[in-house]
Structure 1
Amino acid sequence: MTITSSAPVAKPVRVRRAVWHVLLCLLVLPGTAWVLVRLGGWERGALVQLFAFTPYVAAWSVLPVLAALATRRWLAATVAAVTLALFAAAVLPRAFADADRGPQGGVALHVMTSNMLFGNADAGSIVELVRRHDVAVLAVQEFSPNAQRSLAAAGLGELLPYSSLGPEYGASGSALYSRFPITDPGVRRNSSGFNQAYGTVQPPGAQAVTVESAHPLAPYSLEVLGDWRDDLAAEPRTDPDGPPRILLGDFNSTLDHGPLRDLVKGGYRDAADAAGQGLIGTWGPYDGDPIPPVTIDHVLADRRLGVGAVSVHDIPQSDHRAIVATLRVPAA
């Protein structure tokens, strides 16, 4: 009589199951923690920089769902599916135009923002975009005296003859150009040392609007995160008793950063988000750096304004892309 035992076979099976269970947890739980921190706006420390890449983590979160379902790990599959659903709710709406994009009557105002990378971006390309898209208001960041001269030489003054300028060498300069006269022009310096040019313009037949070229500090190190938050907190909110406001520029933040979402809640709508273009990258690999593109440039429009088409454009010799947005300003 032959006697057999299943123990030598069962032990390797149990080990493989335990290993797979650990691997599934390593696949599922980081994404779950990420999305909970994202929804709560609790990103701190090194997470601040990482959270700019949340859309990529959201796309990756499909894999744990498929892995858990394929191995019939139902609890892990449930947690992974809920995580995926939360990511989709937080990120996916940016890819679809909002049903409510504000009032669509009134006067069309084409605005544009462009970061010139220490003033070295190709001025001719910027002016050509202004001409081609009938831009009436242009906001520029990292605006240097050299940039001022190169834009003038490229013919910007013929298209946008009015301006509020704060040129400086380095990254701190700022400018606002307009087709229409600018009243109450000025340049303020935020707490991080960056200039922000501003002014009020009134398109013919429309209400006056206040426009500001925004440039909060980048969260480039742990030591400056407090300054980054302070700059975003200090950006002007809308004033229901004053003219509608437009903030546009390099915010050094994505909609996955709590401080920027708090700013938007201060009476704005993100034009690219409203138009279904909110996942198009505006900074990263455009000057050759091997960085996945992220969306840190924005046009924030007062909710009393409507949002039309939004497009994103490469600018040679800049690490940022330009945003052109059509806004609707109520009639005077």
Structure 2
Amino acid sequence: MGRWKTVVAWVIVAPFALWAAVRLSGWDATFRWVQLVSFTPYVAAASVVVPVIALVLRRRAPAVAGAAVVAVFAALLAPRVVPDGEPRAEGPELRVLAANLLFGRTPAADVLRLVRTLDVDVLALSELPSPAKDTLEKAGIGEYLPYSQDGTNETTLYSAYPLKVPGPSPAGAVRAQVEVPGAGGIVEVVAVHTCAPLYPGLDQCWRDSQAALPAATPDGAVRVLAGDFNATLDHATLRAVLATGYRDAAEVRGAALRSTWPADGRPLPGVAIDHVFADRRVAVLGYSVHTLPDSDHRGVFALLRLP
């Protein structure tokens, strides 16, 4: 009986320990793991019962191992729920909203309502095909955000301030310089929409499109990335982008476990794949997630103070 209890305890511990080890390694070389690792917060929550079961079975070594796994997950996820301190930023505010409209299905009136309610300065839209863009402009988006720049893959950047295009944008993105009054220089904003790893073979496009995102330039111009990254903070590719000198607005505000997809009722656990990344010199004063009618994403809003 004792041997049976030991085997059961270790069988329960093993998959959680393996998940934690692979997540720590940063390995994401296979399509299926790219998808699965997004659900790490749920695995972490479930791991709490592992040492409890081991203790009930009176197996000390598996209980200790299970507690160690829980500690690893806690260390990985704690930064997402504990707000960060803020850099000293004394420049103007910049209000950024990013939204995936599911091929333009979100009604223009709802987009405009969010823009007005949040007093948006910069709007990064993805999955906005030409007919939906025409409808949005007829509805009056130009009254609030008169400047715009189109990118590839149906991505558009709207702004309350003049835009300049510094050069080619990465695939699926729009890269533009925003002339924010009082900022003391140019702020570059990139509307992001990377490949989604929906099917085998698309994971390489997913990696390439994230690798193509411009790095932060903490010693140069301020840069902000906003949009549908199709990746969570558990993906090594996304953490590599952050490591260049960005901070995730949701993580800074302790709200990085708030899901943004799916938001259309499908039976999947929610994950956070829509983000606003800001140069580490930028203060994040607020962050919120907003429902987008008829879209499978929620919009993400960040209130920033520029250096």
Please say which of residues 78-87 and 241-250 is displaced more in the overlay: 241-250
Task: Give the alignment of 1:176-215 within 5 angstroms.
Answer: 176-184=157-165, 188-190=169-171, 195-207=172-184, 208-215=186-193
Q: Aligned to 2:285, which of 308, 313, 316?
A: 308
Task: Give the alignment of 1:1-332 within 5 angstroms.
Answer: 14=1, 17-45=2-30, 46-99=32-85, 101-166=86-151, 172-184=153-165, 188-190=169-171, 195-207=172-184, 208-240=186-218, 242-284=220-262, 286-330=263-307
* Distance verdict in 2 for CA 1:165–1:138, change over 3 Å: same
Partner amino acid, structure 1, of 2:81 = A
Partner amino acid, structure 2, of 1:253 = A
By how many angstroms is 1:150 displaced? 2.4
Partner amino acid, structure 2, of 1:97 = P
By how many angstroms is 1:329 displaced? 0.8
Aligned partner of residue 278 in structure 1, secondary structure: coil
Aligned partner of residue 124 in structure 2, secondary structure: strand
Partner amino acid, structure 1, of 2:88 = P
Please say which of residues 236-245 and 174-183 is displaced more in the overlay: 236-245
Partner amino acid, structure 2, of 1:203 = V
Aligned partner of residue 105 in structure 2, secondary structure: coil
User: Contact 1:200/1:211 (CA < 8 Å) preserved in 2?
Assistant: yes
User: Contact 1:166/1:187 (CA < 8 Å) preserved in 2?
Assistant: no
By how many angstroms is 1:102 displaced? 2.6
User: Contact 1:298/1:323 (CA < 8 Å) preserved in 2?
Assistant: yes
Partner amino acid, structure 1, of 2:202 = V
By how many angstroms is 1:216 displaced? 1.2
Aligned partner of residue 222 in structure 1, secondary structure: coil
Partner amino acid, structure 2, of 1:76 = P
Distance 2:289 2:224 in 1: 18
User: Contact 1:111/1:325 (CA < 8 Å) preserved in 2?
Assistant: yes
User: Contact 1:103/1:328 (CA < 8 Å) preserved in 2?
Assistant: no
Instruction: Provide structure 1 residue ranges, at least 5 long, that are not aligned to the other structure.
Output: 1-13
Aligned residues: 305
Distance 2:33 2:165 in 1: 39
Which has the higher Rg, Structure 1 or Structure 2? 1
By how many angstroms is 1:240 displaced? 4.1
State TM-score, norm by structure 2.
Answer: 0.95
Aligned partner of residue 227 in structure 2, secondary structure: strand
Distance 1:102 1:275 in 2: 13
By how many angstroms is 1:241 displaced? 5.0
Runs of 4+ in 1 over 4 A off after TM superposition: none
Aligned partner of residue 300 in structure 1, secondary structure: strand
Distance 2:82 2:261 in 1: 21
Q: CA RMSD in A?
A: 1.6
Aligned partner of residue 289 in structure 1, secondary structure: coil
User: Contact 2:89/2:281 (CA < 8 Å) preserved in 1?
Assistant: no
State TM-score, norm by structure 1.
Answer: 0.88
User: Contact 1:282/1:320 (CA < 8 Å) preserved in 2?
Assistant: yes
